[in-house]
Amino acid sequence: MSQTLTAVVLAAGRGRRMRSDQPKVLHELGFRPLVGHVLEAARAAGADAAVLVLAPGMGAVAAYAEGLGLTVRVAEQEPPLGTGHAVMAARDRLPAAGDVVVVFADTPFLEGDTIARLARTRRDAGAAVAVLGMEPDEPGGYGRLVERDGRLEAIVEAAQADAATRAIGLVNSGVMAFDAARLATLLDALEPQSARDGDPEYYLTDTVAAARARGWETVVARCDPIEGLGVNDRLQLAEAEAVLQRRLRAHWLREGVTMLDPASVHLAADARFGRDVVLEPNVFIGPGVVVEDGVRIRAFSHLTTDPPKDATPLVVRKGAVIGPFARLRSGAEVGAGAHVGNFVELKNARLDAGAKANHLTYLGDCTVGRDSNVGAGTITCNYDGFAKWPTTIGREVFVGSNATLVAPLTIGDGALIGAGSWVGRDVPAGASHVARGAAEQREGGAARLARHLARRAGKDG
């Protein structure tokens, strides 16, 4: 039987330093909740299941986690009496054998490979506990890994450490792997540590000394300090976002995306690009966006779906050209070689191959057939104040500038809509449709009108 790996994700801490009405772990990095990054790492490590330790009232976190397709079990911890206490709360959801890896929900850069490597290090050594250690520039508030004769003896929290211990540069990233069969014994051995203020705490880190006291092996694996970076406040969240953005851009540059000014491009963690995509400066790619090969997104374009309200995917197909200053929203689909130009907004709107909407247009709840042209200033009036209605435009249709298309509406293939028209009923294929107020022109009318207006303003003496 293959070894099972269960990830225990600790997220019940109060996260007060965020100063937020929302649980800390739902704050987003690259438009993905912090806890989502960690669960993604757990899945990448090959975890069979994740046990999420939450405080009461964190239903939104549980709902998010369940949507990820990993088997997630929830354990409640109340009150939060420390990391050891949090794992005790998860106890009856843990397997009797195999690997249990404890991770913190606020360390978004932890990688799946690292979790898997830590679990392997523990198994290979036959150890009860393996700790993921790191050597950051500033060991600051991290727990210190105390070694003797090359073997991990204990973890000492910074607050309890003497000067010599504080001088140790190797610290606890927070990730710990356990032999599931021996974890219960280690949890039973934890003694409460008296905190300076507030309730006593049970430290998960004390399992190391407890294992050594029983003559059980303990080991350390190391990671890049960035993987242990914890997000505790909004400053750290902003710093973490900057790190993530650099990584995402580097990834997509290596995958064949050109960026004229990478530092000005903002990307969601789930963005997907084909080859030979060009992103001009100041392009924003939010969640739920797929961009196929050869697409050019010109400067200052904004593409994003709007989860959780509307996460309908947004797709830009091969060779399309977007922007500058275009806005694409949930459910936008731009066909191969189609053009969406400046100040054009698409929401739940499909442009088929070769179609064009180049200037100052709103297309909502709408489809535009192949090679049709939507003139400048055209608006689909999709909302009547009560409900949204669709507009269907066929192939090779010519919509003149400044047309007002009142939905529900169907315009047949090859039809022609005159500039400035409003269209309130269906237009058959091949028909022309022109609807304008009758023009009125009068000889000398401009001067007469000017005199009238001046008199009315009381300025003619």
Residues forming the site for Ca ion (CB under 5 A)? 230
State the minimum distance, in angstroms, from the CB of residue 125 to ligand UD1.
21
Q: CA 179, CA 32: separation in Å to the nearest integer?
A: 31
Listed ranges 8-16, 44-52, 183-191, 251-259: which one lies at the site for ligand UD1 (CB under 6 A): 8-16
Residues in contact with ligand UD1, shown as a per-residue x/- string from 68 to 87 under the rule CB under 6 A: ---------x--xxxx-xx-
Point out the residue whose Cβ comes nearest to ligand UD1.
Answer: 143
Given 5, 7, 8, 11, the residue binding ligand UD1 (CB under 6 A): 11
What tokens appear for 47 in the block?
């975890």
Supply the minimum distance, in Å, between the C-beta of residue 174 and ligand UD1.
Answer: 3
Paired sense of beta strands 144-148 and 151-156, if any: antiparallel
List 33, 174, 286, 331, residue binding ligand UD1 (CB under 6 A): 174
Give the range of 177-185, 201-209, 255-263, 429-437 binding ligand UD1 by CB under 6 A: 201-209
Q: Coil, helix or strand for 399?
A: strand
Q: Is 53 in the site for ligand UD1 (CB under 6 A)?
A: yes
Q: Is 13 in the site for ligand UD1 (CB under 6 A)?
A: yes
CB of 173 to ligand UD1, least distance (A): 6
Among 5, 8, 10, 119, binds ligand UD1 (CB under 6 A): 10
Residue 130 interaction partner, one of ligand UD1, Ca ion, none, beta carbon < 5-8 Å per kind: none
For ligand UD1, which is the closer residue by CB, 143 or 331? 143
Nearest residue to 222 via CA among 293, 307, 152: 152
User: Per the structure block, which two tokens stand in for 41?
Assistant: 């790492």
CB of 341 to Ca ion, least distance (A): 48
Nearest to 293 by CA among 267, 270, 313, 316: 316
- Give the list of residues 6+ apart from residue 339 with CB closer than 8 angstroms, or none: 320, 321, 355, 356, 357, 358
CA distance 43 to 70: 7
> Exposed, middle or buried, 78 (CB in 10 Å: 0-12/13-18/19+)?
exposed
The residue within the footprint of ligand UD1, chosen from 8, 105, 295, 340 (CB under 6 A), is 105
Kindly tell me which residue out of 204, 336, 360, 415 binds ligand UD1, with binding defined by CB under 6 A. Answer: 204
Selection from Ca ion, ligand UD1, none that 337 binds (CB < 5 to 8 A by kind) is: none
Q: Which does 10 bind (CB under 5 to 8 A by kind): Ca ion, ligand UD1, none?
A: ligand UD1
Could you tell me if 118 and 127 are in contact, meaning their C-beta atoms sit under 8 angstroms apart?
no
Annotated catalytic residues are 359
Q: Does residue 172 touch ligand UD1 according to CB under 6 A?
A: yes
Phi, psi of 139 (to 5 degrees): -70, -20
Phi, psi of 248 (to 5 degrees): -65, -45
Burial class (CB in 10 A: 0-12, 13-18, 19+), 390: middle
Residues 6+ apart with CB under 8 A from 302: 284, 286, 326, 327, 328
Phi, psi of 197 (to 5 degrees): -130, 145
Closer to ligand UD1 by Cβ: residue 53 or 237: 53
Give 380's strand partners: 405
Tokens of 296: 């050019």
Q: Does 23 bind ligand UD1 (CB under 6 A)?
A: no
- Region from 101-109, 307-315, 399-407, 428-436 binding ligand UD1, contact rule CB under 6 A: 101-109
Give the nearest distance from C-beta 218 to Ca ion in angstroms.
Answer: 22
Cis bond leading into 200, ω under 30°? no
* Dihedral (CA of 153, 156, 162, 167) sign: positive
- Per CB under 6 A, which of residues 106..135 are in contact with ligand UD1? 106
Tokens for 306?
């709007």
- Part of the chain binding ligand UD1 (CB under 6 A), chosen from 43-51, 171-179, 325-333, 440-448: 171-179
Which partner from the list ligand UD1, Ca ion, none does 172 bind, CB cut-off 5 to 8 Å by kind? Answer: ligand UD1
Stretch that binds ligand UD1, among 103-111, 382-390, 394-402, 443-451 (CB under 6 A): 103-111
Q: CB nearer to ligand UD1: give 172 or 382.
A: 172
Alpha carbons 90 and 53: distance in angstroms, whole number: 7
Residue 379 contacts residue 405 (beta carbons within 8 Å): yes
| Cβ-based nearer residue to Ca ion, 82 or 323 | 82
Closest separation in Å from C-beta 15 to Ca ion: 9
User: Any residues with CB less than 8 A from the CB of 187 and at least 6 apart, and which?
Assistant: 84, 87, 88, 91, 207
Which residue lies nearer to ligand UD1 by CB, 195 or 260?
195
Most distant CA pair in the chain, distance: 107
CB of residue 110 vs Ca ion: minimum separation in angstroms? 13
Q: 197 with 76: CB under 8 angstroms? A: no
- The residue among 86 and 321 lying less far from ligand UD1, judged by its C-beta, is 86
The label of the residue with tokens 């973890």 reads 155
Q: What are the residues binding ligand UD1 (CB under 6 A)?
A: 10-13, 53, 77, 80-83, 85-86, 104-106, 142-143, 155, 157, 171-174, 203-205, 230
